[in-house]
Amino acid sequence: MQRVGIIDDDDRVRFSVQMLLEISGFEVETFASAEEFLACQDFSRFACLIVDFRLPELSGLELLRILRRQQVLTPALISSGFISESEAAEFVAAGAFDVLHKPVDPKQLVGTIRDIIARAGSLQNPPYSAAG
Amino acid sequence: MPEAVLPLDEPVRLGALLGLDILDTPPEGAYDDIVKLAAELCETPIALISLVDEHRQWFKAAHGLDAKETPRAFAFCAHAIHAPNEPLIVSNAEHDPRFADNPLVTGDPNIRFYAGIPLVTKSGQQPIGTLCVISDEVRELSDGQLKTLTVLANHAEKLLHLREATKELINQQFELQQQQHELARLGRLALAGELVAEVSHEMGQPLFAISALSATLEIMNEQRGWEYGRTSVLIGRLHEACGHAGQILTRLRQFVRNVPPAFETCDINEILGSTVEFLDFQCRRNEVNIQLNLASSPLNVRANSAHLQQVAVNLFINAFEAMDEVDAADRALMVTSRQEDDSIIVEISDSGPGLTVSDEAAFKAFRTTKADGLGMGLSICSRIIENHSGRISASSRAGEGATFRIELPKAG
């Protein structure tokens, strides 16, 4: 079973996305902050991450950069509320797989995660390079 | 009969005359007195304050003459205005080639003698007419009479200047009003932009939760995976997310509620508090640490609370933007409120680089150099505070951030 990590400070979003992904056949772990996620150390257990762009202390972008610096290349989807094109571009430059605008269409989210996992499985390298 | 040659700057001259908006206005005592005195002291049957229009001369005041106007082609005054700095004196029109065949000389009122002092506008020094005395007898003016006529002409000119200044003031006031309306409109647009950012972020959260939960229920339904406890939890969470969305809308509605323009007594601390709440998202996005240092008791002012809130929002966002280049750890916004004598003081200090212009020039510079939301914002801020009989000022020291200070009269 594929495990997805959700990093979001909004309890409602965490819970509902967890429910959606679990019923869709994924295992889910949730984290309320970037720090909480970084503390888990073993990142290899995640097939995919869903990161809120706006997190209380370390931002989503900073988390992504830290992970990429540590050569953690887990595909990451950024979920964002209000984000400018330049901010979205920054995420992509930092190695985000895609930026999703809230409210994210649930079926699209599930589909995208399946795609990411399928692609990662079929390629030797993840579909992007370490950056940021 | 040679008509008076048009002055070189005739369009400018006519513009100055029309700008006075005096043509065809009812008689006014002050002008009437002048022509009456002029006729008496110069011992002539006729005295006029004549204004030379494009095709006529029109009399603002006339003594001894019933006509309100005569064609410009016959006007002595149209000649007089060619030399704005000296009187035109014609002792015997019959012997003057300029006027000998003038119908006003050959027929009624049989002008022989004319003395006119040009009247000149204050701005642009445009000759628009004359104060003149006219007689059907060949004669001269004594030195004393010429001097008197000149003094009276000065008085007439002063009256015209006063009218000119009043007109200008009214025009300026009108322009100012137009500008204020435009500024207020732009300010509302800028605020609307902030609101859209706020709404789309805030609403995105519960809507995301709602859509994920309903999709979960849909999938459970497809899989016939109903399980009483689990379903109840999901439905409960759905209700909760809907409630949350509703609360957000309620809060936004309160924020932009249509407050009548009337002033009401309101607590400045409440306004500051709700502004901080409103900007919570921007604040976190900009990673700014807000320190609220508000007076412990309510600070009441007579105000349009929506307008004051607009000022606070503008100053906060201004501060956020000023701190863009500062290390996130050092981004601090200090908001203080207190009472000093009969005044309520609010200070909003940021830890940005300080103002790039002199303190006094800050608002002026923002007004003139920036046309975006921020520049308009500060300009509107000062207008709004002025409308509240208050003062807004900015001060800064290089590297120590900027402080905006608002002073409002305490509600009585």
For B292-315, the DSSP string reads EE--SS--EEEE-HHHHHHHHHHH
A19:B213 CB<8 A: yes
Could you tell me which residues are beta bridge partners of residue A77?
A50, A98
Quote the percentage of chain A above a pLDDT of 70. 89
**Collapsing DSSP states into helix, strand and coil, what is residue B99?**
coil
A 10 A CB-CB count for B30 gives 13
CB-based contacts of A86: which residues, under 8 Å, 6+ apart?
none
- Tokens in use for A16? 């509902």
> What is residue A132's predicted lDDT score, i.e. its pLDDT?
38
> What is residue A124's predicted lDDT score, i.e. its pLDDT?
44
DSSP A94: T
Measured CA to CA, the distance from residue B185 to residue B379 in angstroms comes to: 12
Fold type of domain A3-122? Rossmann fold (3.40.50)
Chain A residues within 8 A (CB-CB) of chain B?
10, 12-13, 15-17, 19-20, 23-24, 54, 56, 59, 79, 81-82, 101-107, 109-110
> What is residue B368's predicted lDDT score, i.e. its pLDDT?
33
Strands, E assignment, B222-314? 264-267, 289-293, 300-303
Give the mutation candidate from A8, A9, A22, A23 for the B interface (greatest B CB count, under 10 A).
A23
Query: What is the per-residue burial (b if ≥16 Cβ within 10 Å, else e) of B84-108?
Result: beebbbbebbeebeebeebebbeee
Domain coordinates in residue numbering, chain A? 3-122
- Cβ burial of A29 (10 Å; 0-12, 13-18, 19+) is middle
The kind and range of the H/E element at A99 are strand A98-101
Architecture of domain B180-255: Orthogonal Bundle (1.10)
Domain coordinates in residue numbering, chain B? 10-173, 180-255, 264-409
> Which of B197, B212, B223 faces A20 most closely, judged by CB atoms?
B212
pLDDT for B7-47, tens place per residue?
568 999 999 999 899 999 999 999 999 999 999 999 999 99
Q: What is the CATH number of domain B264-409?
A: 3.30.565.10
Could you tell me which residues are beta bridge partners of residue B338?
B345
- Tokens in use for B176? 């100012």
**Collapsing DSSP states into helix, strand and coil, what is residue B102?**
coil
B213:A20 CB<8 A: yes
Predicted model pTM: 0.48
Measured CA to CA, the distance from residue B400 to residue B396 in angstroms comes to: 7
The top-scoring range by mean pLDDT among B140-144, B217-221, B225-229 is: B140-144
Query: What is the per-residue burial (b if ≥16 Cβ within 10 Å, else e) of B301-310?
Result: bbbbbbbbbb
> What is residue B69's predicted lDDT score, i.e. its pLDDT?
94
User: Of B390, B363, B387, whose CA–CA distance to B376 is shortest?
Assistant: B363
Quote the percentage of chain B above a pLDDT of 90. 51
Give the mutation candidate from B207, B208, B210, B240 for the A interface (greatest A CB count, under 10 A).
B208
Multiple choice CATH, B10-173, 3.30.450.40, 3.90.1150.10, 3.40.50.720, 1.10.340.30: 3.30.450.40
Mean pLDDT of chain B: 85
> Which of B202, B213, B215 faces A107 most closely, judged by CB atoms?
B215
Residue B371 has pLDDT above 60, yes or no: no
Q: Name the pLDDT band for B156 (thresholds 50, 70, 90).
A: very high
Give the pLDDT mean for A102-106. 85
User: Of B148, B136, B144, B142, whose CA–CA distance to B35 is shortest?
Assistant: B148
- Beta-strand relationship, B46-52 and B127-135: antiparallel
> Which of B220, B241, B284 faces A12 most closely, judged by CB atoms?
B241
> Which chain A residues touch B231 with a CB distance below 8 Å?
none
> Which chain B residues touch A19 with a CB distance below 8 Å?
212-213, 216, 234, 237
> Which chain B residues touch A10 with a CB distance below 8 Å?
205, 209
Report the Cα B44 to chain-centroid distance in Å: 49
